[in-house]
Amino acid sequence: MPSSPVRFEHTAKPSLALDPGERADDAARRVLRALLDVVEANEPGLRAQHDPEFLHDFRVAVRQTRSVLGQLERVFPDPPLGRFREDFRWLGRATGPARDLDVYLLRFSTYQAWLPPEVRGDLEPLRAFLHQQQRAEHARLVALLDGARYRALRADWRAFLTAPLATPTAHGRRPIRAVVSKRIRRLYKKAVRQGRAILADADAPDADEMDAALHALRITCKKLRYLLELFGSLYPPGPLAPLIDALKGLQDVLGEHNDLVVQRARLRAFAREMMQQGMAPADTFLAMGRLEAHIDQARLQTRAAFRRRFRRFARKKTRRRVRALFRAATPPGTAAPSAG
């Protein structure tokens, strides 16, 4: 009798109901435990290469973990966190190349459609090369997940998040809403400053500097988005929704621009490797050159879209909403004693 196919459960986002007066260290550890659950839930599907979304959601949970540790760093005693910050940074970087290849293959049909019909087939050797690279990168990724460093990180991180804190910090005893609101206000102000500086230099000739500035803004917006989503239950959903919507619109453009910058750089690296291996005819390299030109054009188009999306994100109405929703006032009640 044939065995039943293995089913992989897809887990994307944790859903938590937080109390505004809850101690910051207790609430943050609940959020971080939920993110660890997401990492572990997506690991089987990632290993089986069942769907690119498993790796994507694995990486998002890792980035969210890093963001919480960075934004709420004073909530926990520092000595044990230094190692965890470094290990999660390592894990994020180590899983990046596999995701980049996934994105390239997911968009391959779009890239072909940018070229005239008579030369689209010339890109097929590139597709074969990408699949070859993807298989090798996935094998490396599985070996990483089987390795001692990753296994120790999972076990030690779970132990830290479940054991009583030996030396709670003064910041960790504060109500979580007061702590998170302060960080959200600062990140929003930083994003507005960065975006305005980009618009002021919009006609600067140095494309690399512009790409770097948009990338820095993208990172700030990610940190802001993670706090809004992970700790969104602390705030009324009605006023929060328009802010998240404006932020998503801006992030879509920034993410698209970053993907194009990365894919353009990778395309050149792919061409060099394929040439060294002698695995493509001259027509393929000509088609790849035309594709790079289209990627450059699309990159310029995303910059124009950025102006529109940023103005909505930074308009006076949104700034007033941020001030009202995340004002410095501490929520009613005091933080409860730690449950350990």
First to last CA, the chain: 50
- 2 pLDDT more than 50: no
SS3 107: coil
pLDDT band, very low/low/confident/very high, at 73 (cuts 50, 70, 90): confident
Residue 8 lies inside a defined structural domain of this protein: no
Residue 263 lies inside a defined structural domain of this protein: yes
Residue 197 lies inside a defined structural domain of this protein: yes
Domain count, the chain: 1
pLDDT band, very low/low/confident/very high, at 42 (cuts 50, 70, 90): very high
- 337 pLDDT more than 80: no
For the chain, percent of residues with pLDDT exceeding 70: 91
The distance from CA 318 to its chain's CA centroid, rounded to whole angstroms, is: 23
Residue 274 identity (one-letter amino acid): M
Residue 330 lies inside a defined structural domain of this protein: no
Residue 14 lies inside a defined structural domain of this protein: no
Contact 27, 54 (CB under 8 A): no
- 25 pLDDT more than 70: yes
Amino acid 204: pLDDT: 62
Token pair of 76 as six digits: 């926990």
Contact 177, 234 (CB under 8 A): yes
Token pair of 229 as six digits: 């989503």
Residue 227 lies inside a defined structural domain of this protein: yes
- 288 pLDDT more than 90: yes
Read out DSSP for 222-274?
Answer: HHHHHHHHHTGGGS-HHHHHHHHHHHHHHHHHHHHHHHHHHHHHHHHHHHHHH
Amino acid 335: pLDDT: 46
Give mean pLDDT, residues 26-51. Answer: 95
Torsion angle defined by CA atoms of residues 22, 25, 31 and 37, in that order, rounded to the nearest 10 degrees: -130
Give mean pLDDT, residues 286-296. Answer: 93
Closest CA to 130 of 150, 159, 146, 106: 106
Q: Which residues contact 250 (CB under 8 A, 6 or more apart)?
A: 195, 221, 306, 309, 310, 312, 313
34 lies in which domain range? Answer: 24-162+174-325
Amino acid 327: pLDDT: 84
What's the pLDDT tens digit per position in 309-327? 999 999 999 999 999 999 8
pLDDT band, very low/low/confident/very high, at 207 (cuts 50, 70, 90): confident
Instruction: Supply the CATH number for residue 257's domain.
Output: 1.40.20.10
Residue 29 lies inside a defined structural domain of this protein: yes
Contact 323, 239 (CB under 8 A): no
Residue 15 lies inside a defined structural domain of this protein: no
